[in-house]
Amino acid sequence: MAPLWHRCALALLGGLLVAGCAAADPEHTAEPGNSVTAPDAPAALVVEVRIAGGQVTPADQRFDAKVGQPVEIVVDSDAEDELHVHAAPQHTFAVTPGAGQRFRFSVDVPGRVEVELHHADRTVVTLLVRA
């Protein structure tokens, strides 16, 4: 009786362990939420942009970035505008009045990438993207 109980417990334990491992894998690979699967993918570059009373900050601030690095533009605005990322492919985001609007993208091609506000007619950020 004891050996039988022992075997069942082991099988149960083994089953739990296998289930645990199987469940952990897809969770892990889906974690970053983008197509970059390199284990040492760089952390997101976060840039805060403020539009208030027709004034825009920053003004053409330079940042270094890497190909595939997530870039997040966080916008506080009192006006509607259009955020335009001059990358290939380009990205256009609609800015509305409000705080903490998050626009996320990554750049696939190395080079200079200007991020503009079309209505304010300002370049807020230039990304220097390296391979």
Binding site for Cu ion (CB under 5 A): 84, 116
Task: Select 65 or 116, whichever has its Cβ closest to Cu ion.
Answer: 116
Question: Rounded to an integer, what distance in angstroms lies between the CA atom of residue 27 and that of residue 7?
Answer: 31
Task: Select 42 or 86, whichever has its Cβ closest to Cu ion.
Answer: 86
Question: Rounded to an integer, what distance in angstroms lies between the CA atom of residue 76 and that of residue 72?
Answer: 13
CB of 46 to Cu ion, least distance (A): 21
Strands 71-77 and 45-52, sheet pairing: parallel
Cross-strand bridge partners of residue 39: none
Task: Select 50 or 84, whichever has its Cβ closest to Cu ion.
Answer: 84
Name the token pair of 37.
């699967």
Q: Which residues contact 52 (CB under 8 A, 6 or more apart)?
A: 76, 77, 78
Task: Select 84 or 104, whichever has its Cβ closest to Cu ion.
Answer: 84
